[in-house]
Structure formats: C-alpha cells, structure tokens
C-alpha cells in the first residue's frame, strides 16, 4: 500500500512564511506524496519548488468559508489554473446548503468545475456544520455538478474527519467519485481506519510522522494497531 500517494501535504495555515512553504514542498518532494495543498498565493512558488518531482500542486478556492460570490470563485479557479495548479479544493456555500438552496449550491460547484478546465476538483462540505441529511445532499450536488472528490473539512472548523462521515459520504456518491478526509488525520492508525471506510486521499500536516510510522511498521519495528478517528483540525 502506497500511503504517501494518498496524502495531500497541507500548507494552508495563515502564519506560514515563504520559507515554511519551501520547506513543506521539500518534504512533499522527498516523501513523494500525492500533492501539496497550498494557499492560492503560493501556487507559483510550489510549482517552482516541486518541478520535476511528480508531486502535484493543489490549492483552494472560496476558502475557508465558501461564501464568496460564485463569479469570484470561478475567477479565482481560472487564475489558479493559469498559475499552474493541478487540483482545486473548493468550499461549497455552507449557509446555502443549510438553507436548502440546492440550485445555488449546485451551480456554485459547477462554475468552479467549468473554470478548472478538466483539473481535479474536490468539494469541501465542512461537515462540522451539517446534519447527516445535509451531508448527503451536499455530496449528491457535488457529484451532479461534475466534481471528482467530496471532502469532509477545511481543517479550520470545530471538527474534522470522522469515521461515520467517511462511511456516509462513501455510501452516498458513485464509485467513480472519491472521498477525501481532512481535519484530524495526524496518525497512521487514523488514516488506515478512514481508508478502510472508503477515503482515498487525506489532507495532513503530520505527513512525516505518518510515513515514518508506516516505514517502521513495514520493517517490523512497531506493532500495527488501527483505531477510529475522533476528528479535529489539521
């Protein structure tokens, strides 16, 4: 199992300096993760730092609250694509989803998908603010709008990925739609539990800890124990 290729190394915290982003990209390149997920203004920097590594550059749109105008989200996505972003993690409009305005939520996602011009789009539901019914609706709208992933959380809300949410999301979307867990994925056991439940990509800052633990277990130096996630931020 290639754990590294399931990880989007997260570099989204607002206090990160340019040097912090460079260091994070070096970690991503050496560890050969799936991608880094950087702040929009860091896309060009990450693209430069990761050139030739095969590691993708992901970024965010409408982050972290999802309540910017659809036209702004789409324009942001086009600009990020032009800057070199390979993947876009967008936040749907949480308030409109909670209000039952499904047409707005669908069209908001669809506009970003169109602006991404074939790039992978992951739709963040921010499950901490939603009922199970709203989570199901959000997942279905994301699929109908052409998204490639549904994602649990930004990592900046009161709660993050949980086992119950991954199971619910996986059961809701079609097999070709993937599920990303983010928020609280700080340990290998958590990642493995959520992977068993159907998550295929993980947002994490504890990338080195997770991969070091996996390598040690592969060498037989640590016992393998799998425990459920309790959620939380990155």
Residues marked active site are found at 89, 151, 180
User: What does residue 214 show for φ and ψ, rounded to 5 degrees?
Assistant: -65, -45
No. of H helices and E strands in the chain? 9, 8
CA distance 39 to 75: 16
Cβ atoms of 132 and 166 within 8 Å: the answer is: no
Rounded-to-integer distance, Cα 12 and Cα 28, Å:
14
> With contact defined as beta carbons under 8 Å apart, do 44 and 84 qualify?
yes
Q: What are phi and psi of 12, to 5 degrees?
A: -110, -10
């Amino acid at each position: 199992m290639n754990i590294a290729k399931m990880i989007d190394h997260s570099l989204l915290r607002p206090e990160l300096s340019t040097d912090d982003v460079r260091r994070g990209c070096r970690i991503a390149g050496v560890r050969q993760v799936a991608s880094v997920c950087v702040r929009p203004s860091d896309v060009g920097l990450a693209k430069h730092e990761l050139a030739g590594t095969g590691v993708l550059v992901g970024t965010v749109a409408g982050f972290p609250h999802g309540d910017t105008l659809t036209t702004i989200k789409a324009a942001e996505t086009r600009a990020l694509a032009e800057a070199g972003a390979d993947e876009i993690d967008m936040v749907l409009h949480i308030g409109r989803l909670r209000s039952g305005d499904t047409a707005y939520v669908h069209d908001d996602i669809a506009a970003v998908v169109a602006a991404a011009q074939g790039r992978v789009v992951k739709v963040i539901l921010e499950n901490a603010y939603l009922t199970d019914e709203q989570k199901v609706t959000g997942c279905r709208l994301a699929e109908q709008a052409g998204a490639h992933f549904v994602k649990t959380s930004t990592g900046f809300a009161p709660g993050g990925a949980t086992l119950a949410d991954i199971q619910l999301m996986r059961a809701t979307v079609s097999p070709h739609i993937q599920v990303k867990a983010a928020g609280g994925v700080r340990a290998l056991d958590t990642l493995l539990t959520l992977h068993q439940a159907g998550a295929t990509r993980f947002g994490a800052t504890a990338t080195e800890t997770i991969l070091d633990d996996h390598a040690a277990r592969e060498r037989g130096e640590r016992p393998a124990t799998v425990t459920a996630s309790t959620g939380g931020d990155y």
